[in-house]
């Protein structure tokens, strides 16, 4: 059984959507509670910079990827070689 590689890309996009949602909730929470301190600004800036850094290097590493490549999930022939079911 094999699946195309782009399935993992969709899973990554789902993770990014969840991450952006929680980031927006965090920023709204900081603004609404009035905790606009220097420490919250520095931490938010550091997390934002690390997010941009991670997204840039993810894009740079995945630029030349062939997303149609099949990924073997379960190969019955290999499983039969490992476990012998002869009774």
Domain ranges of the chain: 2-82
- Per-residue tens of pLDDT for the chain, all 87 residues: 788 999 999 999 999 999 999 999 988 988 888 778 888 889 889 999 999 999 999 999 999 999 999 888 876 666 665 666 555
| Of the candidates 30, 75, 70, the residue with the CA atom closest to the CA atom of residue 48 | 30
pTM exceeding 0.85 = no
């Amino acid at each position: 059984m094999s699946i195309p590689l782009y399935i993992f890309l969709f899973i990554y996009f789902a993770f990014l959507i969840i991450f952006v949602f929680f980031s927006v909730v965090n920023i709204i929470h900081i603004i609404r509670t009035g905790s606009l301190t220097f420490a919250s600004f520095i931490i938010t800036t550091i997390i934002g910079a690390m997010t941009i850094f991670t997204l840039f290097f993810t894009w740079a590493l995945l630029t030349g990827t062939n997303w149609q490549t099949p990924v073997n999930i379960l190969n019955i022939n290999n499983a039969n070689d490992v476990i012998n079911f002869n009774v």
